[in-house]
Amino acid sequence: MRRFEFVAGTSNKFWEISQSDTEVTVRFGRIGSEGQTQTKDYGSWEGAAERVRKLVAEKLKEGYMEVAGSGPRPETEPGFRTPPVLPRYEVPLLPADGPLKLGGVSLPRGRRLSGSTEFAPMGVTPIDEPVIWATDDLVEDAGRMLHLLRQPASARNLVPVLLAGMEHEPNRPWDSHEFCPTDPRRAVLVDVGAELASAWGGNFETDDEFDSERLDAVRPFGKTFPGLARPASLDHIIDDSDVLSQIRGRRIGLIAAARPAEVLAATGWVGAVNVYDDPALLSAVLRSWEVRWNAYLVEVGFDTLTLTVGNPPRDDKTSLAVAAEHCAFCSDNIWQGSGNIAAYARELAGSPTWQFWFD
């Protein structure tokens, strides 16, 4: 059993949670009272553990503090895992302000951009150094330039990425400092399957008509996340140079990070803040997609992401499995896009790009 308390102003509340096999029990009320007790069966140990993890995260976000020694935290249970302490993070060196020549590629004048601690995820230590170097103006052949920059930038622990802004406010979020750099290594600590399972389940938390419509939209799946998709092969990787050459008129950014997947955590991107309170969770998913699908982040906007895909799903079964991951990662791609997961899966088959928009 774990106990949390919230004492502030007129509030003097406690909240307790425990798991027994597939059941989760919570007890809550005013400190000193017996409170109320609720127990719910989640059908599987994994489902119950994920519910514990999510509820604990919600209480911490609300300001509850865990009472020391309130109960055991078994390392084998996802809902109770304590992350290891990482050694001090050294931010890779960014280029100086001004025009830049990198590996034979010449870029127009750019500058280092700093974030704001106002956008730091709760409980995460922000980085107060610039992690973005960005061109001041749009680069006409931006996609082709990104492709040419990959190798020389990697040698300096930098990742080239295209930067987009809002349609009517193109300075946001980059020049308006609506981001907060964090340690990108945190993404390695995330259990991607568990996070996607939690996000998937979050789409079906009530039992009303709205949930019924959503369940119809994700058939043949149900309320339980079907798991991570597996690529049929890694033998036929598509080069993305042709796709990139079609992207024009973007700013080019160089991000202090080791790989494209780390860009969101490193910059502290908040474009998905209505869904994810920590961009490290998104970076963890992108890292998994890099490995399985050769899918690489190439453009970051105010609330949009674009990836090129070197190993897209090609058959119906695999496309449907990937569509489930996308639905968990960014459900608006289905709810405000294709309408149902089967139609979305058909769009994914063989597609060299993946795009996401977070409402």
Give residue limits of the domains in the chain. 2-80, 113-189+228-357
**Taking a C-beta distance cutoff of 8 angstroms, is the pair 316, 345 a contact?**
yes
Query: Is the pLDDT reported for residue 29 higher than 50?
Result: yes
pLDDT above 60: residue 70: no
The predicted structure's pLDDT at residue 82:
47
Residue scoring higher pLDDT (53 or 256): 256
Residue 52 host element (H or E): helix 45-62
The rounded mean pLDDT for the chain is 89
- Confidence class for position 83, pLDDT limits 50, 70, 90: low
Specify the DSSP element, H or E, that contains 78: none
Model confidence at 9, in pLDDT bands (50, 70, 90)? low
Residue 74 has pLDDT above 70, yes or no: no
8 Å CB contact between 201 and 225: yes
Rounded Cα distance, 317 and 94, in Å: 43
Residue 320: the pLDDT is 96
Rounded distance between C-alpha atoms, residue 289 and residue 322, angstroms:
10
Kindly give the pairing relationship between strand 251-256 and strand 304-309. unpaired
Fold of 2-80: q64v53_bacfr protein fold (2.20.140)
pLDDT, tens digit (0-9, with 9 covering 90-100), for 90-118: 999 999 999 999 999 999 999 999 999 99
CB 187 within 8 A of CB 280: yes
Residue 39 makes CB contacts below 8 A (sequence gap 6+) with: 23, 24, 25, 26
Rg over CA atoms, the chain:
22
Contacts of 228 (CB under 8 A, 6+ apart): 192, 193, 196, 288, 292, 325
Per-residue pLDDT at 53: 82
Q: Read off the tokens for 84.
A: 């290891």
pLDDT of residue 59: 84
Q: What CA–CA distance (Å, rounded) separates 224 from 204?
A: 9
Give the per-residue pLDDT at 80: 42
Q: What is the mean pLDDT of residues 56-76?
A: 67
Reported confidence tier of residue 276, pLDDT bands at 50, 70, 90: confident
pLDDT, residue 243, reads 96
User: Which residues lie below 8 Å from residue 322, measured CB to CB, with a gap of 6+?
Assistant: 229, 293, 313, 345, 348
Using omega within 30 degrees of 0 as the cis cutoff, is the peptide bond preceding 173 cis?
Answer: yes
pLDDT of residue 87: 81
pLDDT in tens, 187-220: 888 889 888 988 898 887 666 666 678 888 999 9
Choice between 48 and 141, residue whose per-residue pLDDT is larger = 141
Tell me the helix, strand and coil percentages in the chain, rounded to 5: 35, 25, 45
Question: One-letter amino acid identity for 260?
Answer: P
Q: Say whether pLDDT at 3 is over 50.
A: yes
Q: Is the pLDDT of residue 81 over 70?
A: no
Tens of pLDDT, residue by residue over 130-184, are: 999 999 999 999 999 999 999 999 999 999 999 999 988 999 999 999 999 999 9
